[in-house]
Structure 1
Amino acid sequence: MPTVRLTEIPPEVLALIETRTGPALRIENLSAGLNSEIAARVRTPAATVFVKGLHSGHRRVWTQQREADVNPHVTDVAPRLLWRSEDAGWDLLAFEDVDGPHADYTPGSPDLPLVVAAMTRLSGVRAPDVVARDMPDRMKAHTSTPELFAGAALLHTDWVPTNVLITGGRAVLVDWAWAARGAAWIDPALWAVWLVKHGHTPAEAEAWAARIPSWNTAPTEAVNAFAAATVSVWEEIADGDPEPWTLDMLTAARRWADHRSASTQARG
């Protein structure tokens, strides 16, 4: 379920931020994203930083540690973590600010090749030891063959367009709360479902995925199993949170899985 976003930074949090940044000249609270209670662009005389945070007792506070652990390994495709503060009942992360729009996933978008480039760079990053959660474990409730998803790659896994910012002619990936270890073709597979949701046919979505080298090494059996498991994941999400976007994602996942099944049958 999405985390409730605060519309104003509490005074004790602002005080924590200003001990690191100096006096804030302007605070822009941001609405995008589902995992943080606080998400704001803080402008100071010296710089602008992006700060996100959760109460120390929040059930998802572990995502703050996950992002802090992963960040040193992804600075080629993600904003750099500047500092972390754990005080006054809050866990805060401050990143380099990225000023750019969210990626457009619709057919014909000039952002699509930029996402391909970022995903290609990421696919070569080996998951560090601090990333303990792997895709077989994450998907074991949704498939009888989770071992097909094993691998050593660092995966982002959360390809909602608000996690992809376009700036300076490149795509920058934010919100690494759901980073995991697994087969490198899984990120392109997850992206394909988002592309279907945004107007691509399943075949068109897979054609974009095929521009990422790791996709072309994926065993057909593994991708088919992952497509079926992804339907199960979105069924669970939509059942607990039947918002229009989750239902759209369930429809997209089913269309992709049906396409995989039909393609396999056609090949005989």
Structure 2
Amino acid sequence: MDAAALGPGRDRDRHMPPTRIPYGDLPENVRSEVEQCTGEVHHAESAGSGLNSSVAAVLVAVGGKFFVKALPSDHRWVWTQAAEAAVAPFVRAIAPRLLARIVTDGWDVLVFEAITGHQADYTPESGDLRAVADLLTRLGEIPCPDVTLREAPLRLQRYAAPDELHHFAGPCLLHTDLNNANVIVADGRACMVDWGWATRGAAWLDAAYWTIWLISAGHSPVEAERWAQRIPAWQTATDAGLAAFAAANARMWHQIAGAQPDAWTRRMVVAAERWNVYRASRI
């Protein structure tokens, strides 16, 4: 079973990130290939967030600013590079443009246009929340491309009963990792990065993922769902489906946490459990 089958977001396998190295530590031939796309690189600054790449850096080059992410070609997550490249042409309305995928000298590299803005603020008083709701609405309007994607029921099968998995099935394109670091806001408009865990499933799932992140940022379950309700796809969810999803995520986060979770993980455990209790009370 691949890592994505374990669950959404930062699942057990994803909880152990690749070793991060500076862009300049890539082999010279790899950097030369990158510069065929960017022009000569004058400066590279490693990204301060993100867990899924060995290299994640903003490049200042002759051709402008670019964002590069890379994994060794034999890394267990390298399939996320292929998935992100496959989805990229179809999400250009809501994501930075992919300029090149380079696979050479033992490395798999994606080169994106750089975007400006700040990571979305999910706290209750944030002015970013409307932009994120609009972003998820626009995502729901994008037809799911005919490319290889993970399937939502398979990603949740360890955490839900077999007779619950049908709730998560569907034909829609999902991002599934609504970590606020993956949502960039500029001038009141949001875009979404890090599509390596794109999934096919029920239309309402991304709004449901967002609900847990909102609770972790300080919203009550009721307040979080009020924001989710702004997304048209949420209306297609059933109480039974939401309860099954909330319970599955609570189980997943408890498994991730283990006996000694860090503060970040503990916050997600508490948020997922709060929503689970609330959803169970609605059945």
TM-score normalized by structure 2? 0.90
Show the counterpart of 1:221. 240
Map 1:42-57 → 2, pairs under 5 A = 42-57=59-74
Distance of 2:279 and 2:247 partners within structure 1: 9
User: Among 4, 18, 23, which residue is 1:3 paired with?
Assistant: 18
Q: Deviations over 1:108-161 (max 9, x none)?
A: 101000000000010122322213311111111111111111111100000111
For the Cα contact (< 8 Å) 1:51–1:95, is it kept in 2? yes
Distance of 2:124 and 2:68 partners within structure 1: 32
Show the counterpart of 1:196. 215
Show the counterpart of 2:231. 212
Map 1:108-257 → 2, pairs under 5 A = 108-144=125-161, 145-239=164-258, 242-257=261-276
Show the counterpart of 1:15. 32
The one-letter amino acid of 1:55's match is P
Determine helix, strand or coil for the equivalent of 1:246.
helix
Determine helix, strand or coil for the equivalent of 2:119.
coil
Q: Quick check: 216-225 or 232-241, which moved more?
A: 232-241
User: Among 99, 120, 128, which residue is 1:82 paired with?
Assistant: 99
Are residues 1:99 and 2:116 paired?
yes
% identical aligned pairs: 46
Show the counterpart of 1:38. 55
Q: Deviations over 1:22-50 (max 9, x none)?
A: 21111111121010000111111221111
For the Cα contact (< 8 Å) 1:157–1:187, is it kept in 2? yes
TM-score normalized by structure 1? 0.95
Q: Deviations over 1:222-255 (max 9, x none)?
A: 1111110111111222128822211110110000
Gaps of 5+ in 1: none
Are residues 1:66 and 2:83 paired?
yes
The Cα shift of 1:8 comes to 4.5
Number of residue pairs aligned between Structure 1 and Structure 2: 264
Q: Return structure 1 stretches of 4+ with deviation > 6 angstroms.
A: none
The one-letter amino acid of 2:22's match is T
CA RMSD of aligned residues (A): 1.4
- Given the superposition, is the C-alpha separation of residues 241 and 76 from structure 1 closer, same or farther in structure 2, using an over 3 Å criterion? farther
